[in-house]
Amino acid sequence: MCGFVCLWNINDKTLAEGMIDKIAHRGPDEAHVATLPGAPVMMAHCRLSIIGPEDGAQPIRQTDDMLVANGEIYNHADLRAILGEAAFETASDSETILHLFRSGQARWIDRLDGMFAFVLATKDRIIAARDPLGIKPLYVARLDGGVIFASELKAFDGVPVEGIEAIPPGHLFDSRDGWRQWYRTPQGAATAEPGFNIGHASHELRLVLETAVAKWMVADVEIGSFLSGGLDSSIIAAIAQKVRAAQGLGPLKTFAVGTQGSPDLIAARAVAEHIGADHHEAVFTAQDVVDALPHVIYHLESADVDLVRSALPTLFAARIARAQLKAVLTGEGADELFAGYSYHHGYADDPRALADELTRSLGTMHNINLQRVDRVTMSESLEARTPFLDRDLIDFAQSIPAELKMRRTDPDAPDTTGPTTEKWILRKACEDLLPAALVWRKKAQFDEGSGTVDALSSALASLIDGPVTRQSEGALYERILRDAYVNPDRVLEAAGTWEADRVFAD
């Protein structure tokens, strides 16, 4: 996990160094600036070493090509075998990007399996690309006839650039060939076709999920897991614990946060005890929230009320996790794949609209929840991994009928959370992993279950003159963001919103 800056047709080392310094939290292990002789390119990179820690420094330069990358390529070992180990000079997973490009295959980027953003330069060409859902960030802007790429918006702060844009998820820019959308999120299914076997689908979902978790645990350092006590993080932690046990490793380290006595802390302890995890937790207070708000809003690069609220417990969890390791698994993406949000209950009788809404929300995660997870964990130099957003899992989950995700159920039955049950098929697929009381526990938003809402209400009362409303809360967050940036409007204009282009049920 890393951060990078790339200047094309801009020969300014001081600028590159200044920009990479602003995102140095993304890679505290080492930083380098390099040029490619004969090419109008300068790259700066800061590294958090996860794979190939001994020789994986970047930028990676080989003959006439140079690369900076952020993220992880989980199938790098298979790619090495296919491309030929002799071609590789380092143990870095990122080097596979360079050799795939050199292979000359028309759809070489499609063979990368993981979360990534990168910029690759040759003597007369520059290529920039981003993973399918935009788990890893990448921005581009113009300056004096050249272009600048960077991992975070804050890298551009105070730099007189024009037109900052996010490279869209699943897209590639090539200065020679133009834009490509190399990945499209598959459209979700609505209803089951004749003969559809729920049991078979549930079993296969479990296998695909287990494969995804094992894949996303590939690293040369220890991987832990966030554990809120909710369904998503509990499933990930339970499977990850099985993966470690099968490898002969010790207990999985899990991390939970909340206010004193909050439901999430209680539930997380129960899950950790059930799976045999090495559990760690931290209690936060209203004053902790007050102290954390400026840090959260600056690093989050958003003043969106919902995003800030959910970012606070993410920060507290990241801090206790980073004290022990460099990378964690999270449950992000399950709500978008399996209909886990409260508003999804309104789609129970309109599976077509639900399938369309889930597909839409997957496509907007990059500047909402995935932005929160990336920016907040990386502010603490911690890598967050999201196995629910594995490409194979996305493909399979989207083929499962939406009517099995949000399902009308008998509230008195044991396998239900009420008259409508969210994530029903996911719960069925994983119900043997955890106690029934946890599998069928009614969902709480992370900021609610952790007690953040109550702590935040108390904190806001001390920060806002007059009534604390959603409007005054949003105004406070915007004011904090404006105070933190030289060019705050750029940041505010780039922020996503929860309901943009939402598909509504009939």
Q: Which residues are catalytic?
A: 2
Query: With 0-12 CB in 10 A as exposed, 13-18 as middle and 19+ as buried, what is 120?
Result: buried
Q: Strands, DSSP E only, in 63-197?
A: 65-73, 114-121, 126-130, 139-143, 146-150, 162-166, 171-174, 178-181
> How far is the C-alpha of 283 from the C-alpha of 292, rounded, in Å?
14
What's the distance, Cα to Cα, between the start and end of the chain in Å?
43
Q: Residue 139 in contact with residue 166, Cβ under 8 Å?
A: yes
What φ, ψ does residue 218 adopt, rounded to 5°? -65, 125
Contacts of 167 (CB under 8 A, 6+ apart): 117, 128, 129, 130, 138, 139, 140, 149, 173
Q: Which of 28, 126, 42, 99 is nearest to 326 (CA)?
A: 28
Long-range contacts of 344-350 (CB under 8 A, 24+ apart): 344/406, 344/422, 345/406, 345/420, 345/422, 346/505, 347/402, 347/406, 347/505, 348/406, 348/407, 348/408, 348/420, 349/408, 349/505, 350/505, 350/506
Using N-to-C axis directions, what is the helix angle for 286-300 and 470-484, rounded to 10°? 60
> Could you tell me the CA-to-CA distances from 322 to 215, 223, 270, 417 in Å, in that order?
22, 11, 23, 34
Q: Which two tokens stand for residue 51?
A: 């794979």
Strand partners, 242: none
135 three-state secondary structure = coil
Beta bridge partners of 253: 278
Which pair of structure tokens corresponds to residue 125? 């060409």
Which residues fall within 8 angstroms of residue 378, CB to CB, at 6 or more apart? 1, 3, 25, 26, 299, 384
| Euclidean distance between CA atoms 291 and 351, whole angstroms | 43
Instruction: Dig out the tokens for 486 from the structure.
Output: 């030289």
* H-state helical runs in 182-262: 198-215, 231-246
Q: Is 303 helix (H, G, I), strand (E, B) or coil?
A: coil
464 burial level (CB within 10 Å; 0-12, 13-18, 19+): middle
Q: Are the C-beta atoms of residues 235 and 434 closer than 8 Å to each other?
A: yes
